[in-house]
């Protein structure tokens, strides 16, 4: 894999020989590494994997939240071309939701550890507004269906007797969600790169910080600048500069996971919002990302470099504004320190060297 954020041992080995910029009386925050190639990097294989994943995501995706396996229901959904991306208990639903990014959630209201109200509220507040349908063994009386609607679900169906109706309802809601997704794409995506734009990035940032507040799940923010893009534009022309921007965007898209958000904030500025990652792992991921971008030559331009600022929630900031400001200051330090390097924001109440209050 091009960028394995969970490869903690690999991350340690990449940083063990790195020269560190020390600030007297403060912890080490800035990681400054010269270019060093990643052994065994296979960009084409990883790109093919990402394409395959996107093809899978283009199909309808349903997350089942139930205590027991539902082989008949899974078979019926798959026969309609709907991908069942997971069968989770109530307690594991939050993690499964972030990893699978379904179009629809079907849940048993009596699943262990499940609060229908809590789940419905979380789905409604997600940046895509995932609908919830309830299904279980209790009769689908008028009262039970009304209760499901009152709790935020779209409907309730009795299993196994109403499995065919449930599948039909899933088809309708998935088709509606996919249509909404297509309409939103024009408003949410950067026209040059296809990445999330600043508006979509802000929505995702609010969502991830809120996840930390509610569930204690960390996140990290990488802000990235292409070094000397103005010189590239002046020397090679703006079409070449656009080509550089698109290649960096392609790399960000290839390395990001389904629950991450890669965005172009404007000009040569990018962001990568990493879900469920602490600042230490994010720093290692940022260094691998820097190496990957440095290693890939841009046709007609040659090799380019990037500077990256890293901050984590809650280590570096506990709100959208403070997390963004921390990563922005870290980016400033990386650029001011010579570019082609990363800088990690310090813990709260401390200050990055080179940044005046």
Which residues are known catalytic residues?
268
How does strand 269-275 pair with strand 261-266? antiparallel
First to last CA, the chain: 40
Give the number of other Cβ atoms within 10 Å of residue 47's Cβ.
15
Output phi, psi for 307, to 5 deg.
Answer: -115, 140
Q: E-assigned strands of the chain? A: 20-21, 30-31, 60-65, 82-88, 104-107, 132-136, 156-158, 219-226, 261-266, 269-275, 306-313, 342-344
Contact 26, 300 (CB under 8 A): no
Residue 145 token pair? 């269906």
CB atoms within 10 A of CB 354: 15
Whether 127 contacts 181, CB under 8 Å: no
* Three-state SS letters, 118-184: HHHHHHHHCCCCCCEEEEECCCCCHHHHHHHHHCCCCCEEECCCCHHHHHHHHHHHHHHHHHHHHHH
Please check whether residue 32 is in contact with residue 23, taking contact to mean a CB–CB distance below 8 angstroms.
Answer: no
**Token code pair at residue 76:** 């019926």
Residue 107 contacts residue 93 (beta carbons within 8 Å): yes
- Measure the CA–CA gap between 347 and 337, rounded to whole angstroms: 20
Distance set, CA 188 to CA 35, 99, 152, 196, 286 (Å): 34, 21, 26, 6, 25
Nearest to 305 by CA among 315, 326, 291: 291
């Amino acid at each position: 894999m091009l960028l394995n954020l969970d490869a903690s041992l690999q991350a340690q080995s990449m940083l063990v020989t790195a020269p560190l910029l020390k600030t007297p009386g403060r912890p080490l925050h800035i990681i400054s590494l010269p270019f060093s190639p990643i052994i065994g990097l296979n960009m084409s294989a990883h790109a093919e994997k990402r394409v395959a994943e996107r093809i899978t995501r283009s199909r309808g995706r349903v997350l089942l939240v139930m205590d027991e396996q539902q082989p008949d229901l899974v078979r019926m959904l798959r026969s309609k071309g709907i991908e069942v991306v997971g069968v989770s208990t109530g307690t594991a639903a939050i993690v499964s939701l972030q990893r699978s990014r379904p179009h629809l959630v079907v849940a048993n209201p009596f699943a262990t550890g499940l609060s229908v109200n809590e789940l419905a509220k979380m789905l409604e507040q997600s940046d895509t507004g995932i609908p919830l349908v309830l299904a279980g063994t209790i009769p689908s009386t008028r009262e039970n269906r009304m209760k499901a609607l009152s709790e935020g679900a779209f409907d309730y169906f009795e299993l196994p007797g109403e499995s065919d109706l449930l599948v039909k309802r899933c088809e309708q809601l998935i088709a509606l969600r996919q249509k909404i997704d297509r309409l939103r794409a024009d408003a949410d995506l950067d026209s040059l790169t296809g990445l999330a734009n600043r508006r979509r990035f802000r929505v995702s940032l609010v969502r991830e910080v809120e996840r930390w507040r509610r569930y204690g799940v960390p996140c990290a923010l990488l802000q990235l600048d292409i070094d000397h893009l103005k010189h590239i534009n002046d020397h090679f022309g703006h079409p070449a500069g656009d080509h550089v921007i698109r290649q960096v965007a392609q790399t960000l898209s290839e390395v990001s996971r389904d629950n991450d958000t890669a965005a172009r904030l404007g000009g040569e500025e990018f962001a990568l919002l990493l879900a469920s990652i602490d600042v230490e792992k994010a720093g290692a991921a940022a260094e691998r990302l820097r190496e990957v971008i440095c290693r890939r030559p841009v046709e007609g331009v040659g090799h380019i470099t990037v500077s990256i600022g890293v901050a984590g929630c809650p280590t570096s900031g506990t709100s959208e504004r403070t997390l963004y400001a921390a990563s922005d200051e870290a980016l400033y330090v990386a650029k001011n320190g010579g570019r082609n390097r990363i800088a990690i924001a310090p813990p709260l109440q401390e200050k990055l060297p080179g940044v005046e209050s």
